[in-house]
Copies of this chain bind each other. A is one copy, B any other.
Amino acid sequence: MNRTLKILPEGRVLKAPFGRGLSDVLEEAGISLSLYCGGRGLCGKCFVEIVRGDLPEPNEDERALRARRNLPPNHRLACRCRVEGDLVVRVPAGSRLPKMPVLSRGAGRTVSLDPAVRKLRLTRPVPDPASPRAFLDSIAGLFSGSRLPASVKTLKDLTRTASVAAEGSEVTAVLYQDRDWIALEPADTTDRNFGIAVDLGTTTVVVELIDLNAGTIVDSAAGLNPQVKFGADVVSRITAAFADPAKLEDLRAAVVGGLNDLIGGLLEANQVAPENVYEAVVAGNTAMGHLFLGLPVATLAVSPYAALFSVLPALPADETGLAIHPGGRVYLAPNIRSFVGGDIAAGLAAIDLEHQDGNFLFIDLGTNGELVVKKGRRFTTTSTAAGPAFEGMTISCGMLALPGAVYKARYRKDGLSLETVAGQPAKGVCGTGLIDIIAGALDGGLLSPQGHILSPSKTIALTNGLALSQKDVREVQLAAAAVKTGIRMLLDENSMTTADLDGIYVAGAFGNYLNVPNSVKLGLLPRFDRRRIRFVGNSSLAGARALLLSLPERPRCEKLAGKVRHVSLAKDADFQELFIKALEFKIWK
């Protein structure tokens, strides 16, 4: 017998069979929750209020999470509850998967406007009545070297124009690389030529709508990667897909659906038809690229963690599921090796590191920390398992840099001074705030360099009931140590110290808000001339945009990706020892 659930504040009524998980029921009804821990009852981000109805008693872990959040007993973790009777459930906004209003454009360099997609206005030929040429021949004959698509679907699409465009009328050819037919449109549509740049992050995805005629950003949108409900970090998602191949398709569908939501919103807001978007360039880390295409991740799940692909040809859009012109293309920025993926290759393209003289360190602090050292003309890279702590995941009061997030903090004599995004009341702490708070706590003697909270409460109280727990501090310690160890080993590998560096690029969601002295205090960044540290923001997105706007950037990027040397930290005998040493919060020697 089905149970009846009323969901507030919507007032929607759902039916659910006895014993079904509450978060599953909500998910199926399109009410997505923040299941950062993959529904394992660990992150405490999916609390809902049981307004009416009974549920079995919570276990000890759930009670502890509830106590930490100061929630009354009728608040329950949706991921841990099974529906046994009729319920009235209020799902607070904070437990729902947010749509992010915050945009991150990244530091883009200027590239020549030379997109892969071009439109040409033609006149549909009038056939010779005595012996008419085949329609496609007559069209293709208008410019040389063109190549018909090896796709029945696209052929159908092209030939449909033969029925709707009168002979002698204007038609518009849409060509890929001046050679391959994407579409043939009735009338002159040359002024409608758009593309999509995608930064496909483990935690967040950012999408830009680009005008390929003008080379301008029309609009952009960002959101959480809906895969977070399968697990906050890359490893948990790979593990899920590896253990259950059906999950692979779930993961693929989740991220493609999320991207389509963002793209659909952008197109609607800007009155652009999906049929006028002919290419998307996607920059994501290796695992995200595999999952986006639904490729098996078995090789990424076990040592030596080989990717399946590095460079791929541009793929047919309809096969990827992206809701743009079905005959369009989707190009993935090339993976470098193992877990160092297309986001880093795109990032290097965005800042054109290859053509800068000198030695540089490139740090991308996303859900993982990826590092690149350029020494002269030689590139070396590695990835660290930093985890998503700096994106607010795995932190009890953590959140993305959304309105209400504490992004800056300073300890003064009279107490803690906090700044929140958009000046709203503090709802949580984002990555930059976390660093400031811990640095302040170290300064103020609330925290030992070993990461022990010294106050009797064993919490670092903030405001509005927000506090960092001992576990939260440990998460930051682990993340910072992973990055620090990575940087040290990569420099060692190149027989360099920070003194040999001409500059440091810091990419990632931190943007310009990262407090350098505080980061140095934690040991996250080495001590370095502040003027020679450049924050480049979302360089993955900027790279995707460059690859979309300028076709010649792609072979350059692919070539660079192929020549970057990759080292695996875990294989190194020194790793464990350096890592343990790095756990201490202190300035680098």
User: Which residue numbers of A lie inside 8 Å of B, CB to CB?
Assistant: 127-138, 147-153, 155-156, 159-160, 162-163, 293-296, 298-299, 303-316, 319-320, 335, 337-338, 565-568, 571
Query: Chain B residues with Cβ under 8 A from A160's Cβ?
Result: 296
Q: Assess the B568–A130 pair: CB atoms within 8 A.
A: yes
Q: Is the interface of A mostly helix, strand, loop or mixed?
A: loop
List 10 extra interface pairs beyond A127-B306, A129-B304, A156-B294, CB under 8 A: A131-B304, A131-B337, A135-B308, A147-B313, A149-B313, A150-B313, A150-B316, A152-B315, A156-B293, A162-B299
> What is the chain B residue whose CB lies nearest that of A335?
B134
When distances are taken between beta carbons in the complex, the residues of chain B under 8 Å from A294 are 152, 156
> In whole angstroms, how far apart are the Cα atoms of A152 and B156 in the complex?
20
Q: Which of B151, B296, B298, B310 contacts A137 (CB 8 A)?
A: B310
Given contacts A296-B160, A308-B159, A309-B135, contact A151 B315 (CB under 8 A): yes
Q: How many copies does the complex hold?
A: 2
In the bound complex, what is the Cα–Cα distance between A153 and B316 (angstroms)? 10
* Residues on B with beta carbons closer than 8 Å to the beta carbon of A163: 296, 298-299
Let me know if A132 and B338 touch, CB within 8 A. yes
9 contacts between A and B (CB under 8 A): A131-B337, A131-B567, A132-B338, A134-B337, A135-B308, A150-B314, A150-B315, A159-B309, A163-B299
Assembled-state Cα–Cα distance A312/B295 (Å): 30
Please judge, given known A-B contacts A159-B295, A294-B156, A296-B163, whether A310 and B131 are in contact too, CB under 8 Å: no
Tell me how far the C-beta of A551 lies from the nearest C-beta in chain B, rounded to whole angstroms: 16
Cβ-closest 9 pairs across A and B: A132-B306, A152-B319, A150-B313, A134-B307, A134-B310, A131-B566, A132-B304, A129-B304, A159-B308
With a CB–CB cut-off of 8 A, which chain B residues contact A152? Answer: 293-294, 315-316, 319-320
| Most chain B Cβ neighbours within 10 Å, of A150, A303, A311 | A150
Cα of A503 to Cα of B129 in the assembled complex, Å: 32
Q: What's the least CB distance linking A358 to chain B, in Å? A: 25
A304/B130 contact (C-beta < 8 A), A152-B315, A153-B319, A315-B150 known: yes
Residues of B within 8 A of A306 (CB): 127, 132-135, 138
Chain B residues with CB below 8 A from A136, complex form: 308-310
Complex contact B310–A162 (CB within 8 A): no
Name the B residues within 8 Å of A304 (CB-CB). 127-132
In the complex, how many angstroms separate the beta carbon of A8 from the nearest chain B beta carbon? Answer: 41
Chain B positions within 8 Å of A155 at CB level? 293, 295, 309, 312, 315
A130 to chain B, nearest CB (A): 5
CA distance A155 to B316 in the complex (A): 12
Complex Cα distance, B137 from A154, in Å, reads: 29
Contact: A296 with B568, CB < 8 Å? no
List the B residue with the shortest CB-CB distance to A180: B150
Q: Do residues A135 and B293 form an inter-chain contact, with CB atoms below 8 A?
A: no
Q: A308-B159, A568-B130, A571-B129 in contact; A299/B135 too (CB < 8 A)?
A: yes
For the complex, give the distance between the alpha carbons of A314 and B304 in Å: 38
CB distance from A223 to the nearest CB of B (A): 23
Residues of B within 8 A of A149 (CB): 313
Shortest Cβ distance from residue A145 to the other chain B in the assembled complex, whole angstroms? 14
Whole-angstrom CA separation of A290 from B150 in the bound complex: 15
Residue on B nearest A152 in the bound complex, by CB: B319
In contact, A131 and B565 (Cβ under 8 angstroms): yes
Nearest CB on B from A247, distance (A): 15
Asked if B296 and A162 make an inter-chain contact with CB atoms under 8 angstroms apart, the answer reads yes
Q: Which residues of B contact A338 (CB under 8 A)?
A: 131-132
Interfacial chain B residues near A337, Cβ < 8 Å: 131-134
Cross-chain contact of A131 among B132, B314, B320, B568 (Cβ < 8 A): B568
Contacts of A319 in B (CB 8 A): 151-153
Q: In whole angstroms, what is the CA distance A335 to B338 when docked? A: 48
In the complex, are the beta carbons of A298 and B132 less than 8 A apart?
no
Q: CA–CA, A307 to B310, complex, Å?
A: 41
What separation, in Å, do the CA atoms of A305 and B305 have in the docked complex? Answer: 58
Q: For the complex formed, measure the closest distance between the CB of A406 and the CB atoms of chain B, giving whole angstroms.
A: 40
Hey, which chain B residues are within 8 Å of A309, CB to CB?
134-137, 148, 155, 159
Provide the bound-state CA to CA distance between A348 and B263, in Å: 52
Q: Report Cα–Cα, A340/B293, bound state, in Å.
A: 42
What distance in Å separates the Cβ of A295 from its nearest Cβ neighbour in chain B?
A: 5
A163-B565 Cα distance, complex, nearest whole Å:
26
Bound CA span A152–B338, Å: 20
A162–B308 Cα gap in the complex (Å)? 8
Residue of B whose beta carbon sits closest to that of A252: B152
Q: In this complex, what residue of B is CB-closest to A129?
A: B304
CA distance A6 to B307 in the complex (A): 60
**Chain B residues within 8 Å of A127, by CB:** 304, 306
Chain B neighbourhood of A314, CB < 8 A:
150
Q: From residue A566, how far is it (CB to closest CB) to chain B in Å?
A: 4
Chain B residues near A153: list those with CB within 8 A: 319
Q: Specify which chain B residues have a CB less than 8 angstroms from the CB of A296 in the assembled complex.
A: 156, 159-160, 162-163
Residues of B near A128 (CB, < 8 A) are 304
* Nearest chain B residue, comparing its CB with the CB of A298: B163
